[in-house]
Amino acid sequence: MPTERDLAADSSHQRAPRPSPTQIGNRKLSAQTLMLGYGFDPELSEGSLKPPIFLTSTFVFESAAAGKRFFEGVTGKRPGGAEGLIYSRFNGPNQEILEDRLAVWEDADDSLAFSSGMSAIATLLLTFVRPGDCVVHSGPLYAATETLIAKILGQFGVSWVDFPSGATREEIDAAIAKGKDRGRISLVYLESPANPTNQLVDVEAVRAAVDAAFPADQRPPIAIDNTFLGPLWAKPLSNGADLSVYSLTKYVGGHSDLVAGGLVGERELINKIRMMRNTIGTICDPNTAWMLLRSLETLEMRMSRAGENAAKVCDFLKSHPKVEKIGYLGFLGEGSRQADIFKRHCSGAGSTFSLYLKGGEKEAFTFLDALQIANLAVSLGGTETLASAPAAMTHLSVPDERKKQLDITPNLVRISIGCEDADDLIADFANALQAV
């Protein structure tokens, strides 16, 4: 179905855009197929097979009336958003094509692209949270997200209540009741799997708890960080979330060469967040958007290969005498709550997992320093394998007591498996474990 954004490649062109098909006959086209051309008409860019990079700060209006109409949309004076291109803090051809394609993966109404995952999260929070409000969230969260909620928003009288990632409906109900005692609950924020423990959140239980606790017109949005499994292995909008949050730096970008973030979800909520993004300027740049369009073309293949590699590597690691335990979604105990959530929410175990070595920080550091193929670096979801020590790196700022509570221990190593040969990775891990 053609959209306004099919015009994005050339806002002043007079020809009607060629529709981007989403269906042929009775067959709905897959997300992988749509990543190769959806939202872009080559005829509107001199026949270019791929969208050009539009490196401009501003766009020329075909008339003063058009300029007024566009600004009425972007400022919210008229519903429906901008009808055309205005200024690169608001929109741009590359960003709009990217947003069309991001929405496809979760069958979302709409999406937004941001300069980083954290700018997406910050813009989301600034849109909905007011002084005196309470944010209810799962735990653990990415350390910067916890800092943003607890320390930054905390300066403005915002409080928070959390529940463990694997919480039952009763535990979620109790957290919501506690949050109500502290203030207006303006957002329920989830992260699943949790970083870095790989614990899953029962999104369906959270949806049911929120629906039961609030009148329909007062329900806070449910947003979830879907970076670890999305968009291939988890689609939380189908489980009841209103918004899916992504660090596009990770799997979607997938080559460790860009930083970006994204939000997909219900149109009314997306439009509210868009207004905040327009104001504070957290949109991603056109070059980054163009690189993400390139990466989306191979997303399914890269994630599938990495997932297959991770299954083989974890199968080797699980019985190694120097390994205490593995937080890998492919090894969940039959009949356990985590296994039940996985069965209902996920289509794959992912390629990022938590490895707990026998010992402490010394053993974790020795292992990391001995790796030769895997790179000692933070982040995840790239074509290369990465390994890090969360307690000493990404989650260093988390108070020690909370780290202990959340099982972020000194012997924890977070591993993101890439697209190398699986047997080569196994040899690398075997050699590093021998040094421990």
Secondary structure (3-state) at 359:
coil
Instruction: For residue 48, count other CB atoms closer than 10 A to its CB.
Output: 12
| Rg, C-alpha atoms of the chain | 22
pLDDT higher than threshold 80 for residue 9: no
At the fourth CATH level, the homologous superfamily of domain 299-435 is Aspartate Aminotransferase, domain 1 (3.90.1150.10)
Check whether 10 has a pLDDT greater than 60: no
Write down the pLDDT at residue 15.
Answer: 42
Q: Is the model's pLDDT at 390 over the cut of 60? A: yes
DSSP secondary-structure letter at 166? T
Span 24-51, pLDDT tens digits: 999 999 999 999 999 998 888 888 999 9
| Mean predicted lDDT score pLDDT of the chain | 93
CA distance 353 to 307: 11
Query: What's the confidence (pLDDT) of residue 20?
Result: 75
Q: Which of 91-100, 152-161, 390-399 bottoms out in mean pLDDT, i.e. has the lowest? A: 390-399
Residue 134 token pair: 């309470």
pLDDT given at position 19: 61
pLDDT of residue 184: 97
Domain boundaries, the chain: 108-296, 299-435
How many percent of the chain have pLDDT more than 90? 86
Residue for token digits 């938590």?
Answer: 354
Q: What's the whole-number mean pLDDT along residues 416-435? A: 98
* CATH of 108-296 given 3.90.930.12, 3.90.1150.10, 3.40.640.10, 3.40.50.300: 3.40.640.10
pLDDT (tens digit, 9 = 90+) per residue, 173-191?
Answer: 999 999 999 999 999 999 9
Q: What angle do CA 275, 276, 281 make, to 5 degrees?
A: 105
| Of 77 and 27, the one with more pLDDT | 27
Task: Report whether pLDDT(13) > 50.
Answer: no
Instruction: Quickly list H helices, 54-133.
Output: 64-74, 93-105, 117-128
Residue 386 has pLDDT above 90, yes or no: yes
Mean pLDDT across the stretch 118-141? 97
